[in-house]
A and B are shown apart, each in its own frame.
Chain A
Amino acid sequence: MTSSKKIRVLAAKPGLDGHDRGIKVVACALMDAGMEVIYTGLRQTPAQIVEAAVQEDVDVIALSILSGAHDYHFPKVMELLREKKVDNMLVLGGGIIPKEDVSGLKACGIAEIFGPGTSTEDIVAYIRTHVRE
């Protein structure tokens, strides 16, 4: 990653969950850290998210969900990315996600899960270190 190009992030809310305080706070923090952030808005299907990510040629997809539907939506996003042969995007998840689900989500390709209480500085640092490693 060269310092001349801004990191591009797609902040996405898959599913029907409308609580977007978390993703908006993260989006603001990423923008403050000099990244470019595109927010999908609410109620996005995995297909819409992947479509937007490809179109916008982002480096990172940040998924946020609190409704408990992560076990369906997150793997679906990864499956669609693989179908499109996209392997250069860092996909992160956040929200109310039980710890026991984390290993399964990582196994399907989500790079990291950020739970409640995470500092936005940690997310910024993680993205900076892991984008296109």
Chain B
Amino acid sequence: MVQKHPERKVVFENTSGIPVKRVYTPLDEDAEDYLKTSGFPGEFPFTRGVQPTMYRGRYWTMRQYAGFATAEESNRRYRFLLEQGQTGLSVAFDLPTQIGYDSDHEMAIGEVGKVGVAIDSLEDMETLFAGIPLDRVSTSMTINAPAAVLLAMYIAVGEKQGVASSDLRGTIQNDILKEYSSRGTYIFPPKPSMRIITDIFSFCAGEVPQWNTISISGYHIREAGSTAVQEVAFTLANGIAYVDAALKAGLDVDTFGPRLSFFFNAHLDFLEEVAKYRAARRLWATIMRDRFNAKNPRSMMIRFHTQTAGCTLTAQQPKNNIVRVAFQAMAAVLGGTQSLHTNSMDEALCLPSEEAVRIALRTQQLIAYETGVADTADPLGGSYYLESLTDEIYDRALAYIQKIDEMGGAVAAVEKGYIQREIQESAYRYQKDIEKGARVVVGVNRFQVEEPEPANLLRVDPVVRDDQAKRLASLRVRRERERVSGALEALRRAAQSDANVMPPILEAVKAYATLGEICDVLRGVFGEYEPITTIGR
């Protein structure tokens, strides 16, 4: 039979290089181990989900990542998304903001307002959230190196709206380790960066208890080219490094553990992705219980946000991206995500237009309200193939983590360039597969068509930078100069000592010290990170 109808390929394997068998049977899983490896939703090891009822209780948060140009313009986009039924905000900051430069800094030329909103001071943040009650939305902020400053600004805006910091809900990404390996928006070297992060953990435990103090992110590791297994492994290895740092800083694992959140990618290999989330949940639960002696089950749960894979979107035949995103979003939902961003079809060309972002949001709403997949927890659980794949990803990710442990942990592995090289090699292999035709990308290496020039792409007016610079100049005249310099001096002293940097940052923010001024004080004390290069000479 097989000779008459040969299979399409000699070897079938998924993106992590795991061989895929023709068929899976009960023999591929150890049924006796069911309670140990799978169990029930809401119970250790959380393979099947972190809530017993999952989406029967509440859908995932539909949270579109957005922000561009000025605070006014981004505020309009947020209100639009909330009117369209989005249930949480997700703020994209421009690169100068992410790297701690004010909009009038020389390094900011050409970048202001381009990939996100430009935020220079509390004043911009007040504009960004004008008319959006912070006690009624949860806000995720993609901010890492200067996360402490943006969180302080958010707390200060809340205070101005009459919302206590204890009522604020949201997430700061605050995951610096993946910046060194994958995303590049670092400022300080690893050691002081880790200290700022543990200062945030400790400050929030008392002052902002509902806040997710970190979102340990595999998303960018995957976008940089890793496989699914590497995404799980490197993300959890980074997680281990944060827990280690917090324990060394004297914090209790069950105090900060429940506030750790995660962020994963949803790539195209559908079942591999579903298995990836399940494997990650089981692995983290095991690590927190057995390695760190966590007692609170909430410390053991991976609660995660998912974003569909920007790197899989094609500039060719962009409408095909709607379908790619729908499959990826479905994988995230079947994998039990708590929050989801669906990419817009035009993202391989420019920032999303309003129509594109609406279709992306509708994709999530379709999955939630029309497909029925949200009506039972972990609906694919028990599939012979899925369970076998979950085990396989778990084992392979664990092997990586053990290797990173032997190197001295994630910080050492980044400093040695190991993680960067592993990711780079996978990225190159993936590209070669596409070029050889071993991996089909519809519209790119198969099924191409002649296409017209795309129209109506969103562009950010370069005048944004001049406007921001003018606003900054005016702010610098209006604010109380002595209060600003006093606050910055207090921050310098805190940074030089063991004191928590969050209270003086909050004070500096309230005095309308700018993001650049605050980061300059910290640069002065901590220095800047010198990256290592893993290609060329």
Shortest CB distance A10–B (Å): 9
CA distance A96 to B107 in the complex (A): 20
User: Which of B111, B351, B441, B531 is close to A16, meaning CB atoms less than 8 Å apart?
Assistant: B111
User: Which of A11, A15, A96, A116 is close to B536, meaning CB atoms less than 8 Å apart?
Assistant: A11
CA distance A15 to B99 in the complex (A): 11
User: Which of A96, A99, A117 is close to B454, meaning CB atoms less than 8 Å apart?
Assistant: A99
- B408 adjacent to chain A (CB < 8 Å): no
CA distance A18 to B183 in the complex (A): 5
Interface string of B198-229 (1 = CB under 8 A from A): 00000000000000000000000001110000
Contact A25 to B348, CB < 8 A, known contacts A17-B184, A39-B536: no
Shortest CB distance B220–A (Å): 9
CA distance A25 to B419 in the complex (A): 16
**B536: chain A residues within 8 A (beta carbon):** 11, 27, 31, 37-39
| B223 touching A15, Cβ below 8 Å | no
CB contacts under 8 Å to A, within B398-450, are 424, 427-428, 431, 434-435, 441, 444-445
- B115 adjacent to chain A (CB < 8 Å): yes
Closest to B457 in A: A98
Size bracket, chain B contacts: 35 or more
Contact A39 to B535, CB < 8 A, known contacts A18-B185, A98-B350: yes
- B487 adjacent to chain A (CB < 8 Å): no
- A34 adjacent to chain B (CB < 8 Å): no
| B224 touching A21, Cβ below 8 Å | yes
- B109 adjacent to chain A (CB < 8 Å): yes
The CB with the most chain A CB atoms within 10 A, among B316, B348, B535, is that of B535
| A28 touching B110, Cβ below 8 Å | no
User: Which of A24, A73, A96, A115 is close to B535, meaning CB atoms less than 8 Å apart?
Assistant: A24
Interface string of A75-101 (1 = CB under 8 A from B): 000000000000000000000101110
Closest to B179 in A: A18
CB contacts under 8 Å to B, within A43-63, are 43, 45
| A16 touching B96, Cβ below 8 Å | yes
| B107 touching A28, Cβ below 8 Å | no
**B184: chain A residues within 8 A (beta carbon):** 17-20, 42-43
Closest to B465 in A: A72
Contact A120 to B460, CB < 8 A, known contacts A19-B223, A115-B315: no
| A28 touching B424, Cβ below 8 Å | yes
Interface string of B130-147 (1 = CB under 8 A from A): 000000000000000000
- B3 adjacent to chain A (CB < 8 Å): no
**B81: chain A residues within 8 A (beta carbon):** none
Shortest CB distance B287–A (Å): 28
**B499: chain A residues within 8 A (beta carbon):** none
The CB with the most chain A CB atoms within 10 A, among B223, B351, B536, is that of B536
Contact A15 to B537, CB < 8 A, known contacts A67-B115, A98-B457, A99-B454: no
| A69 touching B110, Cβ below 8 Å | yes
The CB with the most chain B CB atoms within 10 A, among A15, A16, A31, is that of A16
| A21 touching B223, Cβ below 8 Å | yes
User: Which of B95, B101, B453, B462 is close to A17, meaning CB atoms less than 8 Å apart?
Assistant: B95
**B444: chain A residues within 8 A (beta carbon):** 117
**B424: chain A residues within 8 A (beta carbon):** 24, 28
| A68 touching B114, Cβ below 8 Å | yes
CA distance A116 to B350 in the complex (A): 12
CA distance A20 to B453 in the complex (A): 26
A-B contact pairs, 12 of them (CB 8 A): A16-B99, A16-B185, A19-B184, A20-B184, A21-B223, A24-B427, A68-B114, A69-B111, A69-B114, A72-B110, A116-B314, A119-B434
Assuming A68-B460, A119-B445, what are 15 further A-B pairs, CB within 8 angstroms?
Answer: A16-B101, A16-B111, A19-B184, A21-B427, A24-B534, A24-B535, A29-B428, A41-B531, A71-B110, A72-B462, A98-B454, A98-B457, A99-B453, A116-B315, A117-B314
